[in-house]
Amino acid sequence: MSALRSARKTATRLSDGRELIYFDESAGAGRGTPDTRGLDPIQVSSELRRDPLTDEWIVVASHRQTRTYQPATAACPLCPTTSRDNLSEVPVPGYDVVVFENRFPSLTADAAGSHDDDPVFARRPGVGRCEVVCFSDDHDASFASLPPARARTIVDVWADRTAALSAVPGVEHVFPFENRGREIGVTLSHPHGQIYAYPFVAPRWARMLETAARHRERTGVNLFAEVLAAEQEAGLRVVARTEHWTAFVPAAARWPVELHLYPNRHVRDLTELDDAERDDFAVTYLDMLRRLDALYDAPLPYIAAWYQAPVRQHRNDAYLHLQLLSTKRAPDKLKFLAGSESAMGVFINDVVPEDMAARLRSG
């Protein structure tokens, strides 16, 4: 059920042709206000190159070197447009939630380039779509500071965009996510997330789904459902369990702070969440973010990533869930990916998962 329960959806275009969509919790005025910046059409250089050693696609997007980097608040491109001197990506003086095509996309629908199936140097155009999701028009807000009603709207927006992008020709995997904090590498501090529509299934998710498929063939059981049930039964790492969601620190956590949120009912993607599950997620997730920010008495830098069924592959092996991770291992220390992690993919965690779960439960 991907329909919006309460938000009013209005689509328009920016001056360079990119799509902009307003999601208003009440009737939005002036949603047809034009973008007067007179932008030239974006010039995108995006190419996929296959690594023959790992069979993974790498995105090469050199135009992103010129993307906006940590601008002053007065020049934030995600704030609403308040005057002729502050023309932003959103040409209205206020909004609730807004989605638009990224001005510096890694993937785009009209990517040009050659399609070469050379066994060593395979390459393709970087076809796909990258969207920005602004959670609020308040530059100083964060997801954690939003009211439950706004978090609920955002869940609806994620579901709406999952349905829309899954229908785009060539898209195989829709990935909503949020990066928060300079320590993570965030270039714009305005509260926002992104959605990538990949023309392939992302490598980490593909590997997890292949493992799940083998498990199903061997046992007849969904692997993710089995992991959830085992964590619920063990209880040691469960941070919260509500009527519809369970939040836990995984037994084999890779990161100092790692939290997974699963719906208690098996659903494949965001569009399949019912109203009660969406309502409960909004409240539960805000509670988890509050607990995470209390860990070190400061806003926690994190990446929050939705794992949902690909458009066509392994749909019944997938189990929708959100993974949130942070590189912060102490109030004044970050975990950097060094030799073992970066070169070999073998993670070494300095924090015991059961200890982290206990701290979050008491937060």
Token readout for 47 is: 């190419």
What is the phi/psi pair of residue 30, to 5°?
A: 70, 30
Amino acid at 198: Y
Q: Which residues contact 279 (CB under 8 A, 6 or more apart)?
A: 148, 152
63, 173, 192, 244: the catalytic one is 192
Residue 249: helix, strand or coil by DSSP?
Answer: coil
Q: Residue holding tokens 């046992």? A: 219
Token readout for 247 is: 């939040």
The reply, when asked if residue 134 is annotated as ligand binding, is: no
* Distance separating alpha carbons of residues 63 and 58, to the nearest angstrom: 15
Tell me the Ramachandran region of residue 114: left when phi exceeds 0, alpha when psi lies from -120 to 50, beta otherwise: beta
What is the phi/psi pair of residue 139, to 5°?
A: -60, -30
The reply, when asked if residue 79 is annotated as ligand binding, is: yes
Amino acid at 327: T
* Distance separating alpha carbons of residues 222 and 212, to the nearest angstrom: 7
The reply, when asked if residue 63 is annotated as ligand binding, is: no
The reply, when asked if residue 76 is annotated as ligand binding, is: yes
Token readout for 19 is: 């799509």
Q: How large is the greatest C-alpha to C-alpha distance in the chain, in angstroms?
A: 63
* Distance separating alpha carbons of residues 338 and 170, to the nearest angstrom: 36
Q: CB of 131 within 8 A of CB of 194? A: yes
Residue 268: helix, strand or coil by DSSP?
Answer: coil
Judge whether 321 counts as a catalytic residue: no
- Active-site amino acid positions: 192
Annotated binding site for Zn(2+): 76, 79, 139, 190
